[in-house]
A and B are shown apart, each in its own frame.
Chain A
Amino acid sequence: MKLSGHAVVIGEDVDTDMIIAGRYLRTKDRSVWAEHAFEDYDKTIAGKLKGSVIIAGKNVGCGSSREQAAAALKEAGVVAIVSPSFARIFFRNCVNLGLYVFETEVRNCKDGDFVTLDTGVPCAEVNGVFYGAKPLSKRMNDILNAGGLAEYLGEKQK
């Protein structure tokens, strides 16, 4: 599958508190998380997330298990996250919510650059350069292709 979007570039070790602060967790309203995404990292990012591909530095999503971090980005319209390395709980949460993840380092990318992604290969293309991503396990691919863990478990139980 081909995906694409404009780049939103963030730094290294961006933790889940920065993606969605603890003070916004107690709600059932996902739009609150989307509205406040990255607030403690950079207040200007939330408005740029619709249709974006996040190009992150290493160890993105470290810290808390709060699934609201992945949910906030999905709700805000993020297409995929690209990073040289993901914190494992965040990585798994993204997959469980059907948010595509690409484990690779992208260089020379700035905010607004057009990013094309191929889930099959998998790879990312930015400014004419291709970056091969680490393949996901079969299970993770199955969950992502189903749209998330809820859908995957639903299929399994048919």
Chain B
Amino acid sequence: MTAENSTLSERILGAPAGEYVDKKVDRAFAHDGTGIQALIALKGFKNQKIKDPGMISIIYDHIAPANNTTAANLQHELRDFSCSEGFSFYDVGCGICHQVMSEGLCLPGEIVVGADSHSCTMGALGAFATGVGATDMAGIWATGETWFKVPETIEINLSGELGGFSDPKDAALLYVKKLGMDGGTYKALEFTGEGAENMPVEGRLTLSNMAVETGAKAGLFYSDKKTQEYLSGFGKEAGRQAKQDCTYESSVEIDLSGIEPLLAVPDRVDNAVPVTKYSGTNLDEVFVGTCTNGRYEDLRRFAGIVKGKKVSVRTIVVPASRNVLLKALSGGLIEDIVKAGCTVCPPGCGPCLGAHMGVLGEGEVGLSTANRNFRNRMGVGAEYFLCSPSTAAASALKGEITSPEDIS
């Protein structure tokens, strides 16, 4: 078992770093894209019986609603299967799987496995949350468990507090830059320090979300009073996790108060530079949404800047979930956003994976609040920069890359 001085990952997985463990999974989820592949994989198993349907969620987000007959047929098949097996099924419009899971479906200390790389998002709630492929997910459906190598942990020690027009996304881009695209491979990240404690849960979700962009398998915050308050908003009670003295493989120090608005320059997520370096770059599209930045707080920051003004480039806004959409509607944000000339699409992943609703054309330049700017991902022959909701708002107003600090 774990020693007294253990990282959060070691405590949740119940063994020291480097050991292999078989663990029962508390929550398992997949979406329309990976869920159907898991179902196909399951059909190749001798035992196709589902061990524990109650722990499994299917959440439609990637091409939701379906954009053609092929996608619709695959969704139809998985929908039928999920409902007949008694899975928790979240159809088109409920939201992005990671956001839906973070809205009271997973709790601190749980082992959460999703068939999507950004499943590390729920680490923000103090869960050990990680992504797997479809065959692994089918194995979890059949056995209720899987194996893990307990990861070494890199500490991301946050001090200070974000100020001005700097958003949690800027902090995320900065730590990804510092670690590099493979700096966290096979590791867990643990976000600690006063800056982590000060950060609201919505911002923590943004930081945990991008852990996989360093190659990490998880990115965790400790469950604290803020976590408890956040989960109580979804009717859930959560415990606190006290940080123990432990040995990290390495530590990265980040002073949040010194962070300026940043961009990730094509085609690398770890290629972050100040927004001002690319000021004036002409844009064809601005996209605000995804599991990184489609939450209420993100829409609030965006709407706060565009309210009462007009965007001068096509701007697509996708709330991360129905809950976010409803809150943004009742708070008046959606009206502000639509009146500013933006197009609001139904909750889901939107154009992030280059499948529908906002795919860029050849030679076009986009600005996105997503987590990846891989070549051709959001449109063949296009390029796109990653940024925060505040930078997206300032840039949408001017039609060119603009620091939010330059909009008065």
By a beta-carbon cutoff of 8 Å, the part of chain A in contact with chain B is 13, 15, 17-18, 21-23, 25-28, 40, 58-59, 62-68, 70, 85-89, 92-93, 96-97, 137-139, 148-150, 153-154, 157
Please report the total number of B residues contacting A with Cβ < 8 Å: 46
Contact A149 B136 (CB under 8 A): yes
Contact A59 B215 (CB under 8 A): yes
Report the separation of the CA atoms of residues A22 and B370 in the bound assembly, to the nearest whole angstrom: 15
A-facing residues in B182-241 (Cβ within 8 Å):
182, 185-186, 215, 217
Contact A63 B374 (CB under 8 A): yes
Contact of A15 among B41, B45, B353, B374 (CB under 8 A): B374
**6 further interface pairs, Cβ-Cβ under 8 Å (given A13-B181, A28-B40):** A22-B354, A40-B376, A59-B182, A65-B119, A65-B132, A67-B134
With a cutoff of 8 Å between Cβ atoms, the chain A residues found around residue B142 in the complex are 153
By a beta-carbon cutoff of 8 Å, the part of chain B in contact with chain A is 20, 33-34, 37, 40-41, 44-47, 63, 70-71, 74, 115-117, 119, 131-136, 138-139, 142-143, 147, 149, 181-182, 185-186, 215, 217, 268, 353-355, 372, 374-377, 380
Report the separation of the CA atoms of residues A88 and B143 in the bound assembly, to the nearest whole angstrom: 22
Contact A93 B133 (CB under 8 A): yes
CB-CB under 8 A for A150 and B135, given A59-B182, A64-B117:
yes
Contact A28 B185 (CB under 8 A): no
With a cutoff of 8 Å between Cβ atoms, the chain A residues found around residue B217 in the complex are 88
Contact A18 B185 (CB under 8 A): no
B380: nearest residue on chain A (CB-CB)? Answer: A40
With a cutoff of 8 Å between Cβ atoms, the chain A residues found around residue B138 in the complex are 149-150
Name 30 A/B residue pairs within 8 A (Cβ), A-sorted: A17-B374, A17-B377, A18-B374, A18-B376, A21-B376, A21-B377, A22-B353, A26-B70, A26-B355, A59-B185, A62-B215, A64-B117, A65-B34, A65-B116, A65-B132, A67-B34, A67-B133, A86-B185, A87-B185, A88-B186, A92-B136, A96-B135, A96-B139, A137-B149, A150-B41, A150-B45, A150-B135, A150-B138, A153-B45, A154-B45
Contact A65 B115 (CB under 8 A): yes
Interface centre among A28, A67, A96, A137 (most CB of B within 10 A): A67
